[in-house]
């Protein structure tokens, strides 16, 4: 598995590290390009919970504005070490081998990419205080759904429904590929 040649150099490096690490679960290019575009609209501190080997972080880095800083947490020390190699000489990216909750004191964040089951599965209550007013939360790994309430595998997708109806956020589901969508939530 290798990344297409038209990717930003930092993303190409992340794909190479991921491949060498034998890690096959990472941010899709469609989601990555969206992350880069959103990062380009932000200032301050951006964060990612669930670094893996750093592909999503690399996409954020490819779009981050001058003066922006990215902090990312990965629970698995082996994966965090692999990701840290990508950004070792980059003072704008901080990779931590830690649980997501250790980043609480580094916020509030202007953009928060949730790529880990926890706290993503906990819903907006866990996240709301970690995002600055006007900040953006990106949740990926959804399957597109056009029904209401949203359904996944024959059941109401309670997580998606909660984010789409939470009055503290304005949330939209964006299809990034025929089989993939993300939620983008802006804090009011």
Residue 92's SS3 state is: coil
Instruction: Give CA–CA dist 51/100, Å, rounded.
Output: 10
For the stretch 73-123, pLDDT in tens is 999 999 999 999 999 899 999 999 998 888 888 989 999 999 766 666 677
Look up residue 97 and give its two tokens.
């081998």
Report domain extents, the chain.
9-187
- Within 8 A by CB and 6+ apart from 33, the residues are 59
- Those residues whose C-beta lies under 8 Å from the C-beta of residue 105, and which sit 6 or more positions away, are none
Taking CA atoms, 128 is separated from 41, 157, 185, in Å, by 20, 20, 10
Q: pTM for this structure?
A: 0.90
pLDDT of 181 strictly over 70:
yes
What superfamily does domain 9-187 belong to in CATH?
Answer: Vaccinia Virus protein VP39 (3.40.50.150)
**131 compared with 50, residue with greater pLDDT:** 131
Q: Is 145 exposed, middle or buried (0-12, 13-18, 19+ CB in 10 A)?
A: middle
pLDDT of residue 116: 63
Percent of all residues in the chain with a pLDDT value above 90, rounded to a whole number? 69
Is-contact 83 23, C-beta < 8 A?
no
Cα separation, 66 vs 92, in Å, equals 9
Positive/negative CA dihedral, 21, 39, 9, 181? positive
pLDDT for 53-68, tens place per residue?
899 999 999 999 999 9
């Amino acid at each position: 598995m290798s990344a297409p040649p038209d990717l930003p150099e930092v993303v190409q490096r992340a794909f190479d590290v991921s491949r060498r690490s034998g890690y096959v679960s990472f941010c899709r290019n469609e989601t990555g390009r969206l992350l880069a575009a959103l990062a380009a609209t932000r200032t301050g501190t951006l964060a990612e919970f669930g670094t893996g080997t750093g592909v999503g972080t690399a996409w954020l880095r490819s779009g981050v504005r001058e003066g922006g800083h990215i902090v990312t947490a990965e629970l698995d020390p082996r994966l965090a070490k692999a990701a840290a190699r990508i950004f070792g000489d980059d003072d704008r990216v901080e990779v931590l081998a830690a649980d997501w909750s250790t980043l609480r004191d580094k916020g509030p964040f202007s953009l928060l990419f949730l790529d880990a089951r926890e706290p993503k599965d906990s819903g907006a209550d866990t996240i709301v205080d970690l995002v600055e007013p006007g900040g953006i939360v990106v949740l990926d790994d959804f399957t597109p759904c056009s029904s209401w309430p949203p359904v996944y595998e024959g059941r109401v997708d309670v997580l998606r429904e909660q984010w789409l109806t939470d009055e503290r956020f304005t949330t939209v589901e964006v299809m990034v590929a025929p089989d993939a969508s993300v939620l983008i939530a802006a804090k009011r």
